[in-house]
Amino acid sequence: MSKKINSIIIIVLLTFLFIPITKEIKINNKIENVIKYKKIQFDYDGYLYIPKFNYKNLIKKGDKEVLDNNLISLNINGSDINSNKNIILAGHNNKYVFHILYYLSLNDELIISDFKIDNMYIVKEIKYINAYDYSIFEEKDNTLTLITCTNDNQKRLVVIAIKK
């Protein structure tokens, strides 16, 4: 009886460990296929690539629905990816999207692309702001602003990069 219970427990644990890994593989494969083959590029505005971590994720204009699909949201009221203004990208603080921002350093490279043109940026500032601080939306030239929530949801992590 004890062996049977142990076997069931092991199967349940392995299932819970395997499902998130499978989800991550599917997400990564989807991102790579869109970027490599541009199969459905018109569904997306572009992608963000962080060479330091070999991190890639798709960018799409939108808000809650985009974020809930583990994509990066391009500010609806803001600039497009090839703009010389302040490009604002937001994403959830989870392992599929912007958890990686916590490991960035000054002078790291960030690349955003619309599938045709790549724009390189260099990280110049990393800071925490109040959740109700909207100063990051100010007009700036040749700036890329990445924003994500923190675990307490009272502050936001902001990474500001300048076009190279």
Query: What is the percent of the chain where pLDDT is above 70?
Result: 73
Residue 110 or residue 37, greater confidence? 110
Compute the radius of gyration of the chain from its Cα atoms.
18
- Per-residue confidence at 29, pLDDT binned at 50, 70, 90? low
The ranges assigned to domains in the chain are 40-163
pLDDT surpassing 70 at residue 8: no
Residue 24: HSE in the Cβ half-sphere, 13 Å Cα cutoff: 10
What is the pTM (predicted TM-score) of this model? 0.77
pLDDT surpassing 90 at residue 27: no
> Cα(150)–Cα(11) distance, rounded to whole angstroms?
34
Ramachandran region of residue 82, left (φ > 0), alpha (ψ -120 to 50) or beta?
A: alpha
For residue 164, what are its two tokens? 């190279």
Q: Which residues of 13-37 are buried (b: 16+ CB within 10 A; e: fewer)?
A: eeeeeeeeeeeeeebeeebeebbee
Taking CA atoms, 127 is separated from 105, 130, 135, 146, 147, in Å, by 11, 10, 12, 11, 10
> Cα(47)–Cα(31) distance, rounded to whole angstroms?
9
What pLDDT does 138 receive?
84
Could you give phi then psi for residue 96, rounded to 5 degrees?
-90, -20
The whole-angstrom distance between residue 157's C-alpha and the CA centroid of its chain comes to 13
What pLDDT does 63 receive?
81
Nearest partner of 107 among 156, 62, 51, judged by Cα: 51
The fold adopted by the segment(s) 40-163 is Sortase; Chain: A; (2.40.260)
Q: What is the pLDDT of residues 104-159, one digit of tens each?
A: 999 999 999 988 899 999 999 999 999 989 888 888 899 999 999 998 889 999 99
